[in-house]
């Protein structure tokens, strides 16, 4: 089973998107960020939900949404969404820490077998007239990142 979760901040409003760009030619745009965790597991789905809520989400300042099909998002009304993450083989300390935490739990307490984990940073860009290429160029490094644009 593959299950995707998106973690967003509750209290951080959209900020000026110029902060993301080296040459802030894009004016009037705002952005919000989130993280998408995609788990490939065998076992109890509710045990995975519990693991995510207790390990990856701050119940006070964050919200978690379970995403359905590929391309689903937790927020709406964005001009475009930039998803980016590390390519296979690149050192990903967050992924390693989550996997290590999973493996330190007693086998009887896990309830599921973790087969794969993929972490994607998500940038929602709001406004009119912005070009995704400018954000890809300034945020993503082609040597280490994979990325996709969602409309």
| Ranges of each domain in the chain | 2-150
13 Rama class: left (phi>0) / alpha (psi -120 to 50) / beta: beta
Q: What predicted TM-score, i.e. pTM, was given to this entire model?
A: 0.93
Taking the C-alpha atoms of residue 70 and residue 6, their distance in angstroms, rounded to an integer, is 12
Confidence at residue 108, expressed as pLDDT on a 0 to 100 scale: 73
Confidence at residue 23, expressed as pLDDT on a 0 to 100 scale: 78
Decide: 35 and 98 in contact? Cβ < 8 Å. Answer: no
Confidence at residue 26, expressed as pLDDT on a 0 to 100 scale: 64
What is the tens place of the pLDDT at every residue in 9-31?
A: 999 999 999 999 887 766 789 99
What is the tens place of the pLDDT at every residue in 64-118?
A: 999 987 778 999 999 999 999 999 999 999 999 999 999 998 777 789 999 999 9
Residue range 120-144: mean pLDDT, rounded: 94
Alpha-helical segments (H) within 56-145: 93-104, 107-110, 132-139
Confidence at residue 70, expressed as pLDDT on a 0 to 100 scale: 76
């Amino acid at each position: 089973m593959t299950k995707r979760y998106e973690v967003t901040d509750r209290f951080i409003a959209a900020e000026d998107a110029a902060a993301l760009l080296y040459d802030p030619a894009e004016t009037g745009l705002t952005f919000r960020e989130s993280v998408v965790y995609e788990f490939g597991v065998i076992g109890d789905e509710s045990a995975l939900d519990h693991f995510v809520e207790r390990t990856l989400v701050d119940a006070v300042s964050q919200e978690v949404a379970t995403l359905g099909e590929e391309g689903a998002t937790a927020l709406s009304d964005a001009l475009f969404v930039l998803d980016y993450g590390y390519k296979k083989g690149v050192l990903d300390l967050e992924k390693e820490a989550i996997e290590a935490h999973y493996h330190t739990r007693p086998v009887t307490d896990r309830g599921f077998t973790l087969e794969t984990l993929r972490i994607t940073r998500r940038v929602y860009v709001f406004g009119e007239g912005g070009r995704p290429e400018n954000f890809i160029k300034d945020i993503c490094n082609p040597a280490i990142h994979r990325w996709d644009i969602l409309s």
